[in-house]
Chain A
Amino acid sequence: MPGPAFDEMWGGEEGDGVRPPYEEVASWLENTPHDELLQRQDAAETIFRKLGITFAVYGDDAAEERIIPFDIVPRVISSDEWARLERGLEQRVSAINAFLCDIYGRREILSAGLIPEELVLANPQFRLPMTRIKPPHGVWAHICGTDLVRTGPDSFFVLEDNARTPSGVSYMLEDREAMQRLFPGLLARHKVRPVEHYPDTLLAMMRSVAPPGAGRDPCCVVMTPGPFNSAFYEHSFLADRIGVELVEGNDLFVRDRAVYMRTTEGPRRVDVIYRRVDDDYLDPLMFRPDSMLGLPGLMDAYSAGNVTVVNAPGTGIADDKAIYSYMPEIVRFYSGEDAILPNVETHRCREPDALAYVLDRLPELVVKLVDGSGGYGMLVGPTATAAEIEAFRARIVASPERFIAQPTLALSTCPTLTAKGLAPRHVDLRPFILTGATGSTIVPGGLTRVALTEGSLVVNSSQGGGTKDTWVLHDGGRR
Chain B
Amino acid sequence: MLSRAASSLYWIGRHIERADFTARLIEAALQFDLLPFTETQSDWTSAMQASGSAGLFDGDLATATREMVTHFLAFDQGNPSSIISCLEKARNDGRTVRTALTRECFETLNDAWMSFRPRARNARGGDLQPFLDWVKEVGRTFEGALHRTMLRNEPCWFLQLGLVLERADNTARLLDVKYHVLLPKGEQVGGALDQAQWTALLRSVSAVTAYRWVYREGLQPWLIADLMILREEMPRSLAACMVEANALLAQLRRTSGRTGPADRQVRALQACLTDRNIEEIFQSGLHEFLAGFISDSNRLSLAVAEQFLF
Seen from chain A, the residues whose Cβ lies within 8 Å of a Cβ on chain B are: 49-52, 226-227, 232, 236, 239-240, 245-248, 250-251, 261-266
Cross-chain contact A264 with B92 (CB below 8 angstroms): no
Task: Find chain B residues with CB under 8 A from A263 CB.
Answer: 1-3, 309
Contact mask B103-115 → A, CB, 8 Å, 1/0? 1001100110010
| Chain A residue nearest to B101 in the complex (CB) | A240
Once A51-B103, A236-B95, A246-B99 are accepted as A-B contacts, the answer to whether A264 and B111 lie under 8 Å apart by CB is no
B96 at the interface (CB under 8 A from A): yes
At the interface, yes or no: B119 with Cβ under 8 Å from chain A? no
| Cross-chain contact B110 with A248 (CB below 8 angstroms) | no
Given contacts A50-B110, A51-B103, whether A227 and B95 have CB atoms under 8 Å apart is yes
Given A52-B110, A251-B3, the answer on whether A266 and B309 have CB atoms closer than 8 Å is yes
B308 at the interface (CB under 8 A from A): yes
Interface size class of B (residues with CB under 8 A): 20 to 34
User: Does B98 contact A261, Cβ atoms closer than 8 Å?
Assistant: no
- Is B125 part of the contact surface with A, judged by Cβ < 8 Å? no
- Is A264 within 8 A of B106, CB to CB? no
Residue of B whose beta carbon sits closest to that of A267: B309
Q: Would you list 30 pairs from A and B whose C-beta atoms are within 8 A, ordered by A residue?
A: A49-B114, A50-B107, A50-B110, A51-B107, A52-B95, A52-B110, A227-B92, A227-B95, A227-B96, A236-B95, A236-B98, A236-B99, A240-B99, A245-B2, A245-B5, A246-B99, A247-B2, A251-B4, A261-B2, A262-B2, A262-B309, A263-B2, A263-B309, A264-B6, A264-B154, A264-B256, A265-B255, A265-B256, A265-B257, A265-B258
Among B2, B103, B154, which residue has the most Cβ atoms of chain A within 10 A? B2
Q: Is the contact region of chain A dominated by helix, strand, or loop, or is it mixed?
A: mixed
Q: Contact at A251–B2, with CB atoms within 8 Å?
A: yes
Q: Would A50 and B95 be within 8 Å (CB), given that A262-B309, A264-B154 are in contact?
A: no
Cα separation A213 to B140 with both chains bound (whole Å): 48
Which chain B residue has the least Cβ–Cβ distance from A243? Answer: B99
Q: Which residue of A lies closest to B7 (CB)?
A: A264
In this complex, the member of B6, B98, B308 whose beta carbon has the largest number of chain A beta carbons within 10 angstroms is B98
Question: Known interface pairs A49-B114, A227-B92. Does A264 touch B1 (Cβ–Cβ under 8 Å)?
Answer: yes
5 closest cross-chain pairs (CB), A and B: A240-B99, A264-B308, A265-B256, A262-B3, A52-B110
Q: In the complex, which residues 278-310 of chain B have their Cβ closer than 8 Å to any Cβ of chain A?
A: 308-309
A50 CB contact (under 8 Å) in B92, B111, B257:
B111
Residues of A within 8 A of B309 (CB): 262-264, 266
